[in-house]
Homo-oligomer: A and B are copies of this chain.
């Protein structure tokens, strides 16, 4: 497989431009160094231990995952540190987490006393200690305790045996587009963070203040007190990142290579990738219903997906033929990678790396 010309790969396939990926990795590492931010990249985007290792080699302090199953896989990167940015609920998952924590520092972010209690019980029974970040809601209104209740949660974590209070966390996922609204949102989240930290630090040792997403990545230094970022998508970027204003098309390392399988319907071509290849995610910062951007055909619109069919509207489809290859920038690369068993790293038109997506499907 190594050395294969990219145009000989069977489609659909996810292809990574290694030069762009390496530039993206270095840019974020350099930004974090410049602003003295701890970088703990979220591996949900690539799900590949070998890429986690590259992030560590470039100075990442640890890696972030969403589920215990991803944590188990990411131990293969050799990371000394893992943040599970998701409450770990239930005795069997806590037991799996503790097994991972035997050989490295493990931290969990959570937003409830119930989650803290379960973790504490498991850790005490195992004679271990787990790090905890208390998560608060900085404006996304997804998970995260209301700021006015954060003090009480931090107090409980600090008191519970088997838990090591490491700091606080938030996810500014409501900042989807870097415009004037975003500047207000960043300022507001910043004010909130400042208040919260002033009150907490009178009483507790708050070491880590963890935030950051890919859209807001390059403005992380504007959040007062923030000292850790955990972006994920930046390694590859995607149409969402472009639409957010956080990168350009030239920074997008991943493409889905497809083949035209039908030109039978006038004004339309059909690709051999649908929702089982792209996912059915639509852009998060735009109202338009599209599922990707075709390279070289700005007028083409990937407007509908079935499971295995991608429907493309195009003013004139007579220039296309069945069997022709089309490369597409996906809307959301994280969920697309999760649908593949492997992805290909390419340089100079040839396959240089074949990575198994080892942490795909680890929903538990």
Q: Which residues of A contact B (CB under 8 A)?
A: 10-13, 44, 66-67, 86-87, 89-90, 92-93, 111-112, 114-115, 118, 137, 141-146, 149, 173, 259, 261-265, 268, 270, 272-273, 275-277, 279-282, 306-309, 311, 321-323, 334-335, 338-341, 360-361, 363-364
Closest residue of chain B to A149 (Cβ to Cβ) is B264
CB distance from A62 to the nearest CB of B (A): 19
Question: Inside 8 A of A323's CB, which chain B residues have their CB?
Answer: 89-90, 114, 118
Question: Inside 8 A of A13's CB, which chain B residues have their CB?
Answer: 364
The answer to whether A279 and B280 touch (CB under 8 A), given A10-B364, A308-B363, A364-B12, is yes
Task: Pick the residue among B111, B263, B279, B360 that contacts A279 (CB under 8 A).
Answer: B279
Q: How many copies does the complex hold?
A: 2
Would you call B280 and A86 a contact (CB within 8 A)?
A: no
- In Å, the complex CA distance between A10 and B67 comes to 12
Would you call B322 and A340 a contact (CB within 8 A)?
A: no
- In Å, the complex CA distance between A195 and B86 comes to 59
CB distance from A69 to the nearest CB of B (A): 9
Would you call B276 and A363 a contact (CB within 8 A)?
A: yes
CB distance from A91 to the nearest CB of B (A): 10
CB distance from A13 to the nearest CB of B (A): 7
Would you call A275 and B67 a contact (CB within 8 A)?
A: no
Would you call B264 and A112 a contact (CB within 8 A)?
A: yes
Question: Inside 8 A of A334's CB, which chain B residues have their CB?
Answer: 307
Question: Inside 8 A of A273's CB, which chain B residues have their CB?
Answer: 363
Would you call B262 and A87 a contact (CB within 8 A)?
A: yes
Question: Inside 8 A of A270's CB, which chain B residues have their CB?
Answer: 142-143
CB distance from A59 to the nearest CB of B (A): 26
Task: Pick the residue among B87, B142, B280 that contacts A265 (CB under 8 A).
Answer: B142
Most chain B CB atoms below 10 A, which of A66, A141, A262, A265: A262
- In Å, the complex CA distance between A264 and B170 comes to 13
- In Å, the complex CA distance between A17 and B352 comes to 46
Would you call A308 and B86 a contact (CB within 8 A)?
A: yes
Would you call A264 and B145 a contact (CB within 8 A)?
A: yes
Task: Pick the residue among B12, B112, B276, B339 that contacts A262 (CB under 8 A).
Answer: B112
Would you call B265 and A143 a contact (CB within 8 A)?
A: yes
Question: Inside 8 A of A146's CB, which chain B residues have their CB?
Answer: 264-265
Would you call A44 and B114 a contact (CB within 8 A)?
A: no
